[in-house]
Amino acid sequence: MKVKMLQNIAGFALMLALMTSCGGDQNGSSGPLGGGSAAQKTYVAPGELDEFYAFLSGGFSGQVSVYGLPSGRLFKVIPVFSVDAEKAYGFNEETKPMLETSHGFLPWDDSHHPELSQTDGVPDGRWLFINGNNTPRIARIDLTTFETVEIIELPNSGGNHSSPFTTENTEYVVAGTRFGVPVPQQDMGIDEYAGKFKGALSYVKVADDGRMDIAFQILMPGFNYDLAHSGKGLSHGWTFFSSYNTEESNTLLEVEASKNDKDFIAAINWKVAEQYIADGNYEEMNSSYLRNFYDEETQMATSEKMEKVKVLKPEDCPGLVYFLPCPKSPHGVDVDPTGEYIVGNGKLSADLTVHSFTKMLAAIEQEDFVDEKYGIPVLNFDATLAGIVKSTGLGPLHTEFDDKGNAYTTFFITSEVIKWKVGTWEVLDRAPCYYSVGHLMVPGGDSRKPWGKYMLALNKITKDRYLPTGPEVNQSAQLFDISGDKMELILDFPTVGEPHYAQAIPAELIMENSKQFYKLEENHHPHAIKSEEDIKVVREGNVVRIYMTSIRSHFAPDNIEGIKVGDEVYFHVTNLEQDYDVPHGFAVMGARNSELLIMPGQTETLLWRPQYPGVIPFYCSDFCSALHQEMQGYIRVSAQNSNPELKWSVGTDE
Ligand code: K7E
Ligand code: CUA
């Protein structure tokens, strides 16, 4: 039995290898690109602007990258879950608290799914959410500043993968655990998994100002909750989570979790959940988690420790959860723009299973249940089935939609995107991807209003597509024009890290609100100073605070004396500029963190611990003017047991 299983694995692996290594001769210039017309479609002339902002997750880079479409130009990498020395994120005193967790300071995570906030089911350009997969967290990026302003931890979870998908009006972002874990965490046998481990689905409330808090968690059986999407239109009020490992195995999942012919899509009625909470029918669990918030007014992040979550148990909450059987370990679960169709992407099959929301409601009404799992009714598969897309592709992962009633599904194993008709389920077109496509993205393609002009395929493997760069070759994105009947490949560009999901939105919904600088008079940083007259150096014990300003092209003060070995020196640098695009940097020799990159009107703080007596230079690390190279200074360090006078200055008195 065991040997046979291993043979199966070997066979599957071989098939994968074959599928992902083919097509080496499909070269962009001579292959599917139609020559000049593709170039014209993606050419954004110098000085012209792109039509869409695209936000791609960085996967194991932990960040988000911002591209223009259709040009594929990289505009920015937004640090989220990983430290970033370029922007001092996680290095300066202001942002360090963003990466605090109940496990301590974590400089890294794995980010998979960017999700734009929505109003009436349409992306609105206010915020971008993204999940931290490894140590369960959700981040919120403010799209006026393109900075991470909030990170909330998710307790009782392990692997925050089905996250952070939004509801129609951003009432919630949801977060399902990928791994079943003991809840609460405890020392127990791994082989006690089945029946004892749990899978928490979190509903994170998003307030009008964007602030997040965990409204409640649903303590599900310990399946693996893979992806999610909320209902929209007629299915507003529901969320659908795909699952695998309903076998509840704790070992060799590639075999053990592929045994059941069908796993489940969990349909959660969150309006019912709200009612249970409002009626007080919940348990309060001691679960601590951190909520980190960057306050633009004080320009400081702070961490707040939360102690309790409200928990709902499905077995005690009739009407809260139903299981829709779905063949072959579904990965993505995607809801079409009308909200009627729920697409299960059964990754071990050739077919897509589409459920009907209307039929689901009828089946619930008629109690057309075939089984029950841990108190959760399992709906009759045939009763909810809307149709099957017979694709002849292999390994469907994710589906997005356009504004003409079409759907686009990625097939990892056969490395292609298949376009099909919603409602008739007929396959309309197929396009190869180079190679092994994971997610795909149509701007607004998981919302009620897709802007169905482009489709971006996000590929895992790019060997032979780009100049080789050693063993590691970057992942890639491939842009297709989907305005016609046939998908047309028009651009191929490398990405930062491994993009799993992406989102895009018309540029005009964001660019008009984009902040150009911080107003000095609104800077309420506790250590800000507003003019050079206020510069000072203050000692309290071995803590020395240097209140410094930067303006083209000098620091004030730029000569500092009276610092000793063993001091903790805080450089509080305020950039006095009030113009767009004039940041200053700050770097000091021997600093064990990074530079600072201070935006106009902003204050940032670098902690430095001098190690030996001497005269140490510091300088501006961002080329800011013709006299940038002159933007420098010295700090004198005396011996630990000396008693030097604290002095600071800029310029000479004469
Ligand atoms: Cu399919 Cu993490 Cu959304 Cu990657 S996941 S592909
Ligand atoms: Cu300031 Cu260079």
CA distance 348 to 397: 9
Ligand closest in space to the Cα of 460:
1
Pairing type for strands 543-551 and 568-575 reads: parallel
The size of the chain, in residues, is 654
How far is ligand 2, taken at its centre, from the CA of residue 612, in Å? 27
Nearest CA to ligand 1 atom 2: 112
Question: pLDDT-based confidence at 391, cuts 50/70/90?
Answer: confident
The closest of 333, 315, 356 to 266, measured between CA atoms, is: 333
Nearest CA to ligand 1 atom 5: 500
The per-residue b/e assignment along 222-247, b for 16 or more CB within 10 angstroms, e otherwise, is bbbbbbbbbbbbebbbbbbbbbbbbb
Q: Are 615 and 637 in contact (CB under 8 A)?
A: yes
Q: Does the domain made of 520-649 have the CATH classification 3.10.110.10?
A: no
Pairing type for strands 212-221 and 224-230 reads: unpaired
- Tell me what pLDDT residue 349 has: 86
> Span 483-503, mean pLDDT?
97
Fold of 52-511: Methylamine Dehydrogenase; Chain H (2.130.10)
The closest of 241, 235, 90 to 177, measured between CA atoms, is: 241
Q: Mean pLDDT score of the chain, rounded to an integer?
A: 94
Give the nearest ligand 2 atom to 629 CA.
2
Residue 639 sits at the vertex; the CA angle it makes with 634 and 645, to the nearest 5 degrees, is 65
The closest of 405, 451, 458, 400 to 125, measured between CA atoms, is: 451
Tell me what percent of the residues of the chain surpass a pLDDT of 70.
94
CA 275 to chain centre: 30
CA distance 422 to 445: 14
Beta partners for residue 372, in sequence order: 377
Tell me what percent of the residues of the chain surpass a pLDDT of 90.
91
> Span 121-137, mean pLDDT?
98
How far is ligand 2, taken at its centre, from the CA of residue 628, in Å? 5
Mention every residue, 6+ apart, whose C-beta is less than 8 A from residue 363: 379, 380, 383, 384
- Tell me what pLDDT residue 151 has: 98
Per-position DSSP letters for 443-474, written without gaps between them: TTTTSSS--TTEEEEEES--TTTS---SS---
CA distance 352 to 393: 10
CA distance 125 to 170: 12
How far the first Cα of the chain sits from its last, in Å, is 92
Residues of the chain with CATH 2.60.40.420: 520-649
Does the N-terminal peptide bond of residue 435 adopt cis geometry, omega within 30 degrees of 0?
yes
**Tens of pLDDT, residues 66-122:** 999 999 999 999 999 999 999 999 999 999 999 999 999 999 999 999 999 999 999
CA distance 334 to 330: 11
Question: pLDDT-based confidence at 21, cuts 50/70/90?
Answer: very low
CA distance 430 to 419: 6
Residue 185 burial class via C-beta count within 10 angstroms: exposed 0-12, middle 13-18, buried 19 and up: exposed
Q: Is the pTM of this model over 0.75?
A: yes
Cβ of 597 closer than 6 Å to ligand 2, yes or no, is: no
CA distance 173 to 583: 34
**Single-letter code of the amino acid located at 261:** D
Per-position DSSP letters for 352-377, written without gaps between them: EEEEEHHHHHHHHHTT-EEEEETTEE
List, chain by chain if needed, residues with CB within 6 Å of any ligand 1 atom: 112-113, 161, 227, 331, 397-398, 438-439, 500-501
Residue 357 sits at the vertex; the CA angle it makes with 354 and 363, to the nearest 5 degrees, is 105
Question: pLDDT-based confidence at 36, cuts 50/70/90?
Answer: low
How far is ligand 1, taken at its centre, from the CA of residue 82, in Å? 19
Give the nearest ligand 1 atom to 161 CA.
2
Residue 63 burial class via C-beta count within 10 angstroms: exposed 0-12, middle 13-18, buried 19 and up: buried
- Tell me what pLDDT residue 37 has: 86
* Three-class DSSP labels, 393-417: CCCEEEEEECCCCEEEEEECCCCEE
- Tell me what pLDDT residue 654 has: 58
**Tens of pLDDT, residues 560-612:** 999 999 999 999 999 999 999 999 999 999 999 999 999 999 999 999 999 99
How far is ligand 1, taken at its centre, from the CA of residue 162, in Å? 9
The closest of 164, 153, 156 to 100, measured between CA atoms, is: 153
The closest of 99, 51, 72, 3 to 457, measured between CA atoms, is: 72
Locus of tokens 């940041």 = 583
Residues of the chain with CATH 2.130.10.10: 52-511
What would the two tokens of residue 586 be? Answer: 């700050």
**Single-letter code of the amino acid located at 20:** T
- Tell me what pLDDT residue 558 has: 98
Phi, psi dihedral angles at 573 (to 5 degrees): -105, 120
Residue 548 has pLDDT above 70, yes or no: yes
Mention every residue, 6+ apart, whose C-beta is less than 8 A from residue 246: 221, 223, 260, 263, 264, 373
Q: Are 496 and 72 in contact (CB under 8 A)?
A: no
The per-residue b/e assignment along 569-587, b for 16 or more CB within 10 angstroms, e otherwise, is bbbbbbbbbeeeebbbbbb
Locus of tokens 């993009």 = 499
Residue 515 burial class via C-beta count within 10 angstroms: exposed 0-12, middle 13-18, buried 19 and up: middle
Nearest CA to ligand 1 atom 6: 438
Ligand closest in space to the Cα of 554:
2
What would the two tokens of residue 612 be? Answer: 């030996």
Residue 17 has pLDDT above 80, yes or no: no
Residue 11 has pLDDT above 50, yes or no: no
How far is ligand 1, taken at its centre, from the CA of residue 501, in Å? 7
Give the nearest ligand 2 atom to 625 CA.
2
The closest of 388, 378, 380 to 343, measured between CA atoms, is: 388
The closest of 159, 112, 115 to 439, measured between CA atoms, is: 112
**Tens of pLDDT, residues 138-159:** 999 999 999 999 999 999 999 9
The closest of 412, 453, 441 to 499, measured between CA atoms, is: 441
> Span 614-639, mean pLDDT?
98
Mention every residue, 6+ apart, whose C-beta is less than 8 A from residue 272: 317, 319, 320
CA distance 373 to 505: 40
Residue 3 has pLDDT above 70, yes or no: no
Give the nearest ligand 2 atom to 584 CA.
1
Locus of tokens 């130009």 = 73
- Tell me what pLDDT residue 631 has: 98
- Tell me what pLDDT residue 540 has: 98
CA distance 380 to 427: 26
The closest of 613, 603, 427 to 526, measured between CA atoms, is: 603
How far is ligand 1, taken at its centre, from the CA of residue 352, in Å? 17
**Tens of pLDDT, residues 159-215:** 999 999 999 999 999 999 999 999 999 999 999 999 999 999 999 999 999 999 999
Query: Following CA atoms 45, 49, 52, 56 in sequence, which dihedral angle do they give, to the nearest 10 degrees?
Result: 80
- Tell me what pLDDT residue 14 has: 42
- Tell me what pLDDT residue 2 has: 41
Question: pLDDT-based confidence at 18, cuts 50/70/90?
Answer: very low
> Span 426-445, mean pLDDT?
97
CA distance 549 to 537: 12
Give the nearest ligand 1 atom to 412 CA.
6
**Tens of pLDDT, residues 498-524:** 999 999 999 999 999 999 999 999 999
